[in-house]
Structure 1
């Protein structure tokens, strides 16, 4: 019996040793080396994140909203309150939130142009690329819908081609630069809010978004059809922005957040009751910051 017991203990010791060897662990602590050879499991390095939530430089492209048009004085740009790159403490622009006020002044650039349409974006993107920014913000499309008539609006196909061209222009020289894309605002809601103000409607007559704002008080079937046509085109533009951006792993669309934001009278310019006020610019900055700094899209 003693011989059999000794043999059993020896077999058990061999089994334990074999199990510990396969597991690559150490009965005392975990400091022993694992197995070597082709069966060894090599630790895989953590992948570098595709999206950096703290870019160190920003360039902005787009239209009058990014230029702060009508936020400070009537029919004038006011880039210091721009949601993207402005320096105003009342706004805390995306650049200020990401870089800090001192660095934002030196490491952010605004190439947006009042009145610009999507067809102008490739040229603006080429200018922005010369700065080699780590992030480019895009807000464009409202002027493609804001035309003299609904028939003059940019076609959805042309809008897509121009946006793809703009991204390709950036990627030719900056394949790793990130892009934040804001949705086109809800123009019909802006009409609904602004039409309650007599001064705003007078300014509208100077030619601000006639396809939506023309004959502001008209509620007949023709006026309703016209506004609905503009609204559907804006929704189509936003779908294009979403689809094109999804094909670029370093592009983030805001998910329709700007379109869905319910601009009230406090968020609208008290000069034209259509463009964002200083308060509205601050809200746009908040939306952009949330999107850019989100851990996952």
Structure 2
């Protein structure tokens, strides 16, 4: 009898230990919980084939100057365009028929980061599975370097835009493109007389103004713009990295070496149809990669 009672107590102790082991982490108490700490939350799986796409941003996403001078051409947008020459991200993900029904372009030519929360608010109604973001060039392309958007404001507006999306659509994925290298666009376009005439109409004066000037003041002005763009890209990457359903392009758009064939033949600054296709390739590669 004594041995039987000992065996019974042993079974009870084992059962109790198993129960405590299963619930100890949730309770957050006991020696085991203190030693191990809280279990990390699993990172949600990234969907490499989202079922719908919405785009926010500025003139690049609107296909500005890609088809006709000083005009939007959303059909060649890298994000949601229908042009077979571009093969946009939406077409690559959804097929041509699917993209026509389940993609939306809320980008606005001339938009700056301060406009992004409003665009994101409009996107929410469509409940997209993926939102593409390409914005920031106009924050640097101002009348002067002193008029450029402060980095702190840029960060705050981007955080507000993502927070707004997350509150309404916690599972929607976000692809964030870096700001292109504006100084390279200047160096490529300044070789074209027509392009420089169009620049005088007010396209990115902080970088493109007095396009042929290479004096110390002009060099310093362009370097200031270049540095601000780099700071914007750091913000985009950092804020995106804090969101488990956000992927940045790792600076790929900024690093892409736009040549004259990739630039609009009207302003030699915005992407041409060919340039839009390159942006679509970068986005598709990032979105469909198994690892960020």
Instruction: Indicate the TM-score class for this superposition, using the shorter chain for normalisation.
Output: 0.7 to 0.9
Structure 1 residue 92, shift from structure 2 partner: 0.2
Q: Using the alignment, how far apart are the partners of 1:88 and 1:241 within structure 2?
A: 28
Flag the structure with larger Rg: 1
Secondary structure, counterpart of 2:270 in structure 1: coil
Q: Using the alignment, how far apart are the partners of 1:228 and 1:242 within structure 2?
A: 21
CA offsets per residue over residues 204-239 of structure 1, 9 Å max, x none? 000000000000000000000000000000000000
Q: Using the alignment, how far apart are the partners of 1:138 and 1:116 within structure 2?
A: 12
Q: Pick one of 136, 142, 150 that aligns with 1:155.
A: 150
Structure 1 residue 157, shift from structure 2 partner: 0.2
Give the alignment of 1:116-265 within 5 angstroms.
116-265=111-260
Give the alignment of 1:62-101 within 5 angstroms.
62-101=57-96
The residue that corresponds to 1:109 in the other structure is 104
Structure having the higher helix fraction is: 2
- Give 4+ residue runs of structure 1 displaced > 6 Å after superposition: none
Secondary structure, counterpart of 1:255 in structure 2: coil
CA offsets per residue over residues 85-111 of structure 1, 9 Å max, x none? 000000000000000000000000000
The residue that corresponds to 2:5 in the other structure is none
Q: Pick one of 279, 285, 289 that aligns with 1:290.
A: 285
CA offsets per residue over residues 22-48 of structure 1, 9 Å max, x none? xxxxxxxxxxxxxxx959xx9xxxx78
Secondary structure, counterpart of 1:51 in structure 2: coil
User: Closer, same or farther in 2 for the Cα pair 1:130/1:210, shift >3 Å?
Assistant: same
The residue that corresponds to 2:27 in the other structure is none
TM-score w.r.t. length of structure 2? 0.86
Structure 1 residue 50, shift from structure 2 partner: 2.4
TM-score w.r.t. length of structure 1? 0.84
Secondary structure, counterpart of 2:235 in structure 1: helix
| Structure 1, unpaired ranges of 5+ | 1-36
Structure 1 residue 265, shift from structure 2 partner: 0.5
Secondary structure, counterpart of 1:100 in structure 2: helix
Contact 2:56 2:120 in 1 (8 A): yes
Give the alignment of 1:31-50 within 5 angstroms.
49-50=44-45
Contact 2:233 2:251 in 1 (8 A): yes
Secondary structure, counterpart of 2:244 in structure 1: coil
Q: Say what the alpha-carbon RMSD is for the aligned residues.
A: 1.4
Contact 1:184 1:258 in 2 (8 A): yes
Structure 1 residue 172, shift from structure 2 partner: 1.1
